[in-house]
Amino acid sequence: MAPKLKMNIKFEKMKNKTFPTRLMLFMAVSTLAIVSCSNDATELDAETSLVPQTEVPADQGVEFITKYFMGDAVQVHLEDDGTYSLAGSDARLFEDQLADSPDAYNPNPVPGEELSGLALGGGIRKWTNNTVYYVIDGLSSSVRSELQKSFDEWSNKTNVSFKERTNQSNYVTISSSGSNSNSGVATLGMYNSRGYIQLGTRATAVVIIHELGHTLGYIHEQNRSDRDNHIIIKTENIQSNAQDQFYKSASATFLTGSFDVNSIMMYGSYTFSKNGQPTITDRSGNTLPQRQARLSTLDIQGTNAAYPSADGGNGNPEPEQDLCDTTANYSSSKSYSVGDYVLYYGRLYQRDYTRWNYIKNCN
């Protein structure tokens, strides 16, 4: 499991943005004080974040290989369903979201590349129309109740909504992993009908909200490149099989513009502890706030920057024609954030995690 939309497109302050966002889609993005790693699931120590986790025995032979995700070298494990767990965590990637070299990632794509056939495949994509469509398969009534609480937390506080699928081609299947635990795993971003969230039989909202963050395209907060300015990673206390989950990403996009220990995508102080001692503390050596089943203020601001409503907050979406009249032209000298709009040769585009999405012709 793991709980902000957060990638190397840093959500920096931009024109027409009240709060820039950095989604971390590197190992999507962003987690709670929660996880106990096993071969098939990551359990979050959500309620107490004090219980040391059980290390996976070395004789289980978990094999990791090196791939590149958004230009960064990462350790991934091939799961039975054909996806790859990012550094052994709860974030799942499909094969074409990874690459064999860093050259496959362009941190500064140009609008229109998808029309010329130059766009690179894979990567992370956000959900169109700010809507995540889902199918529920076999969850218990208690987990369904926690799932609804989690939907409400995101939809009541951000521009994102969750709707049951009718005939949409892009959707996630939410099902039980069969694990008797408060755990979850999720694929990163919108990825057609193969996207999924799998929840333990005791999954609670604190875990599910985090997994929905991965679905939106976010990675873990503690993987940010600037994390050492805000927290201390206590490597000596981390389970040996979980060391890679505390890597630093130079290029991932994170949910918030500033490091946020309260982010739903942040690990807790005792996540993956092998000895009951903290794996993460603040710069003064104090443990972090206990994880809560709610989005932080920065989670909300970051998500609304990445998934803008384009309505100025009045509940009435701005017509695309108005966007054509009010949007500035693309500039190669600017740094753009997920959610930004630009005009390029008369066409309207919106920035995604790893590409620009064509909206319409404004001529």
Active-site annotation, residues? 211
pLDDT score of 106: 80
Reported as a pLDDT band with limits 50, 70 and 90, residue 188 is very high
* 1, 220 contact by CB (below 8 A): no
Distance separating alpha carbons of residues 344 and 363, to the nearest angstrom: 11
Q: Which of 5-19, 107-121, 174-188, 325-339 has the lowest mean pLDDT?
A: 5-19
* 71, 251 contact by CB (below 8 A): yes
The yes-or-no verdict on residue 44 having pLDDT over 90 is: no
pLDDT score of 310: 60
Reported as a pLDDT band with limits 50, 70 and 90, residue 253 is low
Reported as a pLDDT band with limits 50, 70 and 90, residue 195 is very high
Q: What would the mean pLDDT of 221-234 be, rounded to a whole number?
A: 93
Distance separating alpha carbons of residues 359 and 350, to the nearest angstrom: 7
Range list for CATH 3.40.390.10 in the chain? 42-305
Helix (H) or strand (E) holding 210: helix 205-215
Could you give the C-alpha distances from 338 to 60, 96, 238, 307, 309, in angstroms and in order? 40, 21, 33, 8, 13
CB atoms under 10 Å from CB of 17, counted, come to: 18
**Mind spelling out the 3-state secondary structure of 124-137?**
CCCCHHHEEEEEEE
- pLDDT tens-digit series, residues 94-138: 998 998 988 877 878 899 875 544 444 457 899 999 999 999 999
pLDDT score of 70: 83
b/e code 262-296 from CB counts within 10 Å (16+ = b): bbbbbbbbbbbbbeeebbbbeeeeeebebbbbebb
Tokens of 60: 């289980």
The yes-or-no verdict on residue 16 having pLDDT over 60 is: no
* 224, 254 contact by CB (below 8 A): yes
> What is the rounded average pLDDT for all residues in the chain?
80
* 212, 156 contact by CB (below 8 A): no
Handedness of CA 321, 127, 71, 230 (dihedral sign): positive
The yes-or-no verdict on residue 350 having pLDDT over 60 is: yes
Q: What would the mean pLDDT of 17-21 be, rounded to a whole number?
A: 38
For the beta sheet containing 356-361, the strands, ordered from the edge strand earlier in sequence to the opposite edge, are: 341-344, 347-351, 356-361
Kindly state the percentage of the chain with pLDDT values over 90.
Answer: 54
The yes-or-no verdict on residue 198 having pLDDT over 90 is: yes
* 337, 12 contact by CB (below 8 A): yes
Tokens of 344: 């390029």
pLDDT score of 113: 72
Higher pLDDT, 5 or 174: 174
Closest listed residue to residue 306, CA positions, set 158, 181, 180: 158
Task: Tell me the CATH architecture of domain 42-305.
Answer: 3-Layer(aba) Sandwich (3.40)
CB atoms under 10 Å from CB of 181, counted, come to: 20
Q: What would the mean pLDDT of 141-160 be, rounded to a whole number?
A: 97
pLDDT score of 197: 98
Closest listed residue to residue 106, CA positions, set 120, 93, 122: 120
What angle (nearest 5°) sits at the alpha carbon of residue 205, between those of residues 146 and 278?
150
- pLDDT tens-digit series, residues 283-307: 999 999 988 999 999 999 999 989 9
Could you give the C-alpha distances from 237 to 273, 276, 279, in angstroms and in order? 6, 8, 6
Distance separating alpha carbons of residues 46 and 90, to the nearest angstrom: 14
Instruction: Spell out the residues 6+ positions from residue 93 whose beta carbon is closer than 8 angstroms to its own.
Output: 69, 76, 83, 84, 85, 86, 187, 188
Q: Which of 1-15, 50-64, 183-197, 251-265 has the lowest mean pLDDT?
A: 1-15
Bridge partners (DSSP) listed for residue 68: 73, 99
Reported as a pLDDT band with limits 50, 70 and 90, residue 255 is low
The yes-or-no verdict on residue 175 having pLDDT over 90 is: yes
What do you get for the CA distance between the two ends of the chain, in Å?
46
Q: What would the mean pLDDT of 238-245 be, rounded to a whole number?
A: 89
The yes-or-no verdict on residue 328 having pLDDT over 80 is: yes
Handedness of CA 136, 141, 146, 150 (dihedral sign): positive
